[in-house]
């Protein structure tokens, strides 16, 4: 594990470096508090730090305060103050400045190893908590089967994007994509094959949009795609690209090869001067999707552009 040692005394730095290297640490050195602050606040900076109390430019307690002020979310730095001060008042001052622990000079290797091991346990616990939180956040925002945005999340993204389109006066297009004859897939091949089809269609839809667009599972076999800064002249080509990505290549489900297509209802919102309800926008896309189904499926119908207010 990487650890930073900040000490203005060259001999002290070197001795501490050798001790830590024997304990298995990758050691990074800083000769004053300001350099240490720059190194510790880097994205890939050390998560463990031993700071001498007395340093030029920025002393140990001052560096603790600065690090806690600049601390990045999900990236805690465990700080040990190295000091010759032993009074209770000094210890309290160091801990209140943001240090997690302290060790007095001259320090014994065994005590140093034990205190750093305690710090590593705390950092490990934090990493586990962050990972658990991110997993919970992912499960709350993504569809468990297809691993794309779930209904609530994609609708939230649509609302935000429509607000942005009003603010920036730029077009936004919304697509409702429905798998054609999906009930027949489940009835003829079983729900496990149906799940394979849903996952593959979601994968193909996601692969055809730009990184700043979004695709979510709207419900059942229906997907919603949000295309930012996409006007009506470009929408037809975008929809055709998405439709073809699904229909042109059969989906393999075990030994079965299935021809699958989608029908698309699309609408573009632009030249807005006031915000229209999301329900109004989705209703127009849904009506276009219904027409695409009625006209024979495996096609796109684009609703008339929403007019300016």
Predicted confidence band at 57 (pLDDT cuts at 50, 70, 90)? confident
Answer whether residue 146 is part of any domain: no
Number of domains forming the structure of the chain:
2
Residues 124 and 93 reside in one and the same domain: yes
Cα distance between residue 176 and residue 223, in whole Å: 6
Predicted confidence band at 273 (pLDDT cuts at 50, 70, 90)? very low
Residues 122 and 21 reside in one and the same domain: yes
Q: How much is the pLDDT for 31?
A: 92
Beta bridge partners of 253: 256
Answer whether residue 269 is part of any domain: yes
pLDDT tens for 138-180 read 999 999 999 999 999 999 999 999 888 888 888 999 999 999 9
Q: Identify the DSSP state of 29.
A: E
Q: How much is the pLDDT for 276?
A: 72
pLDDT tens for 6-26 read 999 898 889 899 999 999 999
C-alpha distances (whole Å) from 141 to each of 99, 181, 212, 218, 252 are: 36, 28, 17, 13, 28
Q: How much is the pLDDT for 27?
A: 94
Which residues have C-beta within 8 Å of that of residue 201, sequence separation ≥ 6? 179, 223, 246, 251, 260, 262
Cis peptide before 105 (omega within 30 of 0): no
Q: How much is the pLDDT for 220?
A: 95
Last residue of a domain, one of 140, 160, 193: 140
Range of the domain at 91: 2-140
Residues 77 and 166 reside in one and the same domain: no
Told to judge if 161 belongs to the known catalytic residues of this protein, a careful annotator would answer: no
> Read out DSSP for 163-201?
HHHHHHT--EEEEEEEETTHHHHHHHH-HHHHHHHHHHH
pTM of the model: 0.72
Q: Identify the DSSP state of 149.
A: B
Answer whether residue 272 is part of any domain: yes
Q: Identify the DSSP state of 161.
A: H
In percent, how much of the chain has pLDDT > 90? 67
Answer whether residue 264 is part of any domain: yes
Active-site residue, from 161, 221, 222, 232: 221
Residues 166 and 96 reside in one and the same domain: no
Residues 132 and 167 reside in one and the same domain: no
Residues 64 and 204 reside in one and the same domain: no
Q: What is the CATH number of the domain that holds 298?
A: 3.30.70.270
306: pLDDT strictly greater than 60: no
Mean pLDDT of the chain: 90
Q: For the residues 245-269, what does the mean pLDDT come to?
A: 94
Q: For the residues 49-63, what does the mean pLDDT come to?
A: 90
CA 121 to chain centroid: 25
3-state secondary structure at position 302: strand
Q: How much is the pLDDT for 28?
A: 93
229: pLDDT strictly greater than 80: yes
Answer whether residue 309 is part of any domain: no
Last residue of a domain, one of 91, 121, 140: 140
C-alpha distances (whole Å) from 58 to each of 8, 19, 51, 92 are: 11, 25, 11, 19
């Amino acid at each position: 594990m990487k650890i930073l040692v900040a000490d203005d005394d060259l001999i002290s730095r070197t001795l501490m470096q050798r001790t830590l290297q024997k304990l298995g640490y990758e050691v990074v050195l800083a000769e004053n508090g300001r350099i240490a602050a720059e190194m510790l606040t880097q994205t890939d900076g050390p998560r463990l730090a031993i700071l001498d109390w007395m340093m030029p430019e920025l002393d140990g307690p001052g560096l603790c305060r600065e690090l806690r002020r600049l601390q990045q979310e999900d990236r805690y730095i465990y700080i040990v103050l190295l000091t010759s001060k032993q009074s209770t008042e000094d210890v309290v001052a160091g801990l209140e400045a943001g240090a997690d622990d302290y060790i007095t000079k001259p320090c014994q290797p065994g005590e140093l190893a034990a205190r750093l091991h305690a710090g590593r346990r705390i950092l490990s616990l934090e990493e586990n908590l962050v990972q658990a939180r991110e997993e919970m956040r992912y499960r709350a925002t993504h569809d468990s089967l297809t691993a794309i945005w779930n209904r609530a999340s994609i609708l939230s993204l649509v609302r935000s994007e429509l607000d942005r389109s009003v603010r920036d006066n730029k077009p936004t297009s919304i697509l409702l994509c429905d798998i054609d004859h999906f009930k027949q897939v489940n009835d003829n091949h079983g729900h496990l094959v149906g799940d394979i089809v849903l996952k593959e269609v979601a994968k193909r839809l996601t692969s055809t949009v730009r990184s700043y667009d979004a695709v979510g599972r709207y419900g059942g076999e229906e997907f919603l795609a949000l295309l930012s800064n996409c006007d009506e002249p470009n929408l037809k080509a975008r929809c055709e690209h998405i439709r073809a990505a699904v229909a042109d290549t059969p989906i393999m489900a075990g030994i079965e090869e299935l021809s699958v297509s989608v029908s698309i209802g699309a609408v573009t919102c632009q030249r807005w001067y006031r915000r229209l309800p999301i329900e109004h926008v989705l209703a127009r896309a849904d009506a276009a999707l219904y027409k695409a189904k009625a006209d024979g499926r495996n096609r796109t119908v684009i609703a008339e552009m929403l007019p300016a207010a």
